Structure 1
Amino acid sequence: MRRRTKNNKKTPAERARDLFSLLKALILIGILCGIPAYILLCHQEVLSNLNSLHDVLTLFRSHSEQSAVLYLGAQILQIVISVLPGQVFQIAAGYIFGFLPGLLLSLIGAAAGTTVTYFLAYILGKDAMFLILGKEKSEKLVNVLNGEKAYLIVFLLYLIPGMPKDLCCYVAGVSDMKFRPFLILSVVGRTPAMCMSLLYGVMYLHHYHLGMGIIAGAAGVLLLLLLLFRKKLMALFDRFYRRITAEKQAAE
């Protein structure tokens, strides 16, 4: 049993640990809440000028030599603090860069943003997540990503547009889920929606309105197929989970 000083006071080591946990939590709060709040309160014009495709295209054109760097930064920032309209930027990337270069930049940005958020949470730890989300909610989310369906859940979260995935990277960082499979599943899950947004931008450039309608229809069909074949998807990911688990046990 851990010893305490008289009157149940915490030891210096315990106080130092609590102070360090608080410091880590404040850093994460500053990133997740402080930076977005600062932008919204002090630089609202930045966001108001990036609400439409026309505004984003104007930004890229006015900084043509740095447009690729701007897009990568926007992709990373959207994943880390979720204040930018990610889909609008992806459509603009298809318009400005074309499909394949835009896809490459999108994948690099998504991988970089996912890496940053995962390791921020990994380094700052569970105490920070507990302070932000509450202990009960944090433990519930972590338990989901520690379960047998974790790989399927992560993949579907990123595959289906509109699913709540903003905090998934952070929760994954404090769960037992390894970084490499999480990175692969999240980036692969994002890819179909990325492709559709980029193609939409390419077709918008060439005024191919029929193609834009086809993409919107394809998105609906994809969602329907996911619902119809959800059991087969679950079985596939169960096999994937068992394989990963077996490899991990063999390595140990």
Structure 2
Amino acid sequence: MLVQISRKGASKMWSVFNTLSSLKTFLCGFGVWTPLVFLILQIVQVVVAPIPGGPLTMLGGMLFGWWQGFLLSALGEIFGSCMGFLITRRVGEAFVKRFDKKDWSKKLLNLNEDKLGTILFIVFILPGFPDDIACLAAGLTPMPFPKFLKLCLLGRLPGFLLNSLIGAGIMLDNHLLTLVILAAYLSIVLLAYLLFHGRAKRLIVRHQQKPNK
């Protein structure tokens, strides 16, 4: 009976995060504490990954305005990224295995530091990659923490800013600003793609083709 109640409670709790509207209602219920709860959620979603980071960052822009939403999202996600990295470094592979369904940790472990930095930057700057999982997996590598932090700041902040602006509606109300921001962001993504994507793909494919020892 207790197990059944516990499962129902967990199911009800996670249903809050199914849609942006339900999450918005949940957050607004905390009144003046909403920014703090939002910050905590941004930290938690990186470390245990139950909530998609992109939509949550857009919601931050919607609730708090673009610059406050960006600041809260950046603080929460960068802190969460660093926390995940350090937890994995201390606890080890068992922590990553809970979330790493595609063995990103194995893909990163055999790379030297220069190649590892290139791969992580690509994962952080280009949309569609599992950047939160990569933060956890990076904790298993020899990469120094200061270098990891620098890659997080350079690679993740542009995406946070873009999502915050979208959520705040700035990019709907001001078409000129929309074009400038999108052009700048797409230029960064395209440059990163041209410089690093082919190299990263070859490195990953080469690693996957190595025979298991």
Q: Smaller-chain TM-score range?
A: 0.7 to 0.9
Tell me: CA distance 1:42–1:58, structure 2 relative to 1, closer, same or farther (3 Å). Answer: closer
Where in structure 2 are the equivalents of 1:1-252 lying within 5 Å?
42-126=9-93, 138-144=105-111, 146-203=112-169, 208=173, 214=179, 218=183, 221-222=186-187, 225-226=190-191, 229-230=194-195
1:191-245: CA deviations, max 9, x gaps?
11111111111117x96395897599659834762366426xx8xxxxxxxxxxx
The Cα of 1:58 is off from its aligned counterpart by 1.9
The Cα of 1:95 is off from its aligned counterpart by 1.5
Distance in 1 of aligned mates of 2:160 and 2:99: 30
SS of equivalent residue, structure 1 residue 174: coil
- Alignment RMSD (CA, Å): 3.7
Distance in 2 of aligned mates of 1:82 and 1:41: 21
1:132-166: CA deviations, max 9, x gaps?
879x974442123x342222211110111111233
- Counterpart AA for 1:170: L
Tell me: CA distance 1:211–1:79, structure 2 relative to 1, closer, same or farther (3 Å). Answer: farther
Distance in 2 of aligned mates of 1:148 and 1:168: 16
Distance in 2 of aligned mates of 1:221 and 1:137: 26
Tell me: CA distance 1:74–1:225, structure 2 relative to 1, closer, same or farther (3 Å). Answer: same
Q: What TM-score, normalized to structure 1?
A: 0.63
- Counterpart AA for 1:164: P
Share of identical aligned residues, percent? 26
Structure 1: gaps (5+ residues): 1-38, 235-252
Q: What TM-score, normalized to structure 2?
A: 0.73
- Counterpart AA for 1:87: G
SS of equivalent residue, structure 2 residue 18: coil
How many residue pairs match? The answer is: 193
Residues 200 and 212 in structure 1, CA contact (< 8 A), matched pair in contact too: no
Distance in 2 of aligned mates of 1:85 and 1:130: 19
The Cα of 1:57 is off from its aligned counterpart by 2.3
Relative contact order higher in (CA < 8 Å, ≥ 6 apart)? 2
The Cα of 1:182 is off from its aligned counterpart by 0.4
SS of equivalent residue, structure 1 residue 167: helix
Tell me: CA distance 1:222–1:51, structure 2 relative to 1, closer, same or farther (3 Å). Answer: farther
Residues 75 and 110 in structure 1, CA contact (< 8 A), matched pair in contact too: yes
Distance in 1 of aligned mates of 2:97 and 2:172: 49
- Counterpart AA for 2:34: S
The Cα of 1:183 is off from its aligned counterpart by 1.4
- Counterpart AA for 2:89: Y
Distance in 1 of aligned mates of 2:46 and 2:125: 15
1:51-70: CA deviations, max 9, x gaps?
33322222232212111111
The Cα of 1:84 is off from its aligned counterpart by 0.7
* CA radius of gyration, larger in: 1
